[in-house]
Amino acid sequence: IAIVLATVIAWSWLINMARDMTSAPMMGMPAMDPWALGNLISMVIMWVIMMVGMMLPSATPMILIYARVVRQKNTLSAARALTASFTVGYLVVWAAFSVVATLLQAALQDLDLISSMLESTSSVLGGALFIAAGVYQLTPLKRACLKGCRSPLDFVLHSWRKGRIGSLVMGLEHGVLCAGCCWMMMMLLFVVGVMNLFWVAALTVLVLAEKALPAGEWTARIGGVSMLGAGIWLLSRSP
């Protein structure tokens, strides 16, 4: 229930923010300084909430299996605390990713490579990011991280640690695996639009399909080839 509520709240916030961005009049407004502290904090919060909405659903099988295991060895209240600690560890990794993504976004805005609507203004940048994402989808590192994400019971058995600190560390480790699996796909948001909810949802579904479907590894490969094709097409359009 907590996972569902967190996901619904995150997506509701994203929908409201996207609506505000598209409805607000931009003409005649001075350009915002992407490096201003207030803007950086706002963007970090946006990225964190987006990562909760995108990544928490795909982590649900792992969280539920961990919860089932700790319920067998602890009281209900202790099991809930351990599961919460595991989930916090997982989300801490994506919060760290959100800080890095915010700094990258500010740099790209400063170079006028993404617009005020947070989408690429350069077909060269867009093509390069799609090609990089496509190549990464086909690398051994991607396959290793995806294998870890697709085997939640194996992860719990081989990475088991006791106590709340142990559960937090396990959550961090799983978060690193998940980030290693998906970080390059998140970079594609700079091409299609960070607040373009259609593509945010599409990437969410792709991440979930890679981790949960029986043919998830083939889904990742097909996605990689498709990204390569999209990148080549974008580069062909560059002047």
The pLDDT tens digits along the chain (239 residues) read: 899 999 999 999 999 988 887 765 444 445 678 899 999 999 999 999 999 999 999 999 999 999 999 999 899 999 999 999 999 999 999 999 999 999 999 999 999 999 877 889 899 999 999 999 999 999 999 999 999 999 999 999 899 999 999 999 999 999 999 999 999 999 999 999 998 999 999 999 999 999 998 999 999 999 999 999 999 999 998 77
Q: Which residues contact 106 (CB under 8 A, 6 or more apart)?
A: 34, 35, 39, 40, 43
Return the exposure string of 103-138: e unless at least 16 CB atoms fall within 10 Å of the residue's CB, then b.
eebbebbeeeebeeebbbebbebbbbbbbbbbebbe
Residue 123: what pLDDT? 92
E-assigned strands of 106-205?
none
Name the amino acid, one letter, at 72. Q
Task: For residues 215 and 96, give the distance between their C-alpha atoms in angstroms, rounded to a whole number.
Answer: 30
Residue 144: what pLDDT? 94
Residue 135: what pLDDT? 97
- Structure tokens belonging to residue 209: 């399909």
Rama region for 114: left / alpha / beta (φ>0; ψ in -120 to 50; rest) = beta
3-state secondary structure at position 119: coil
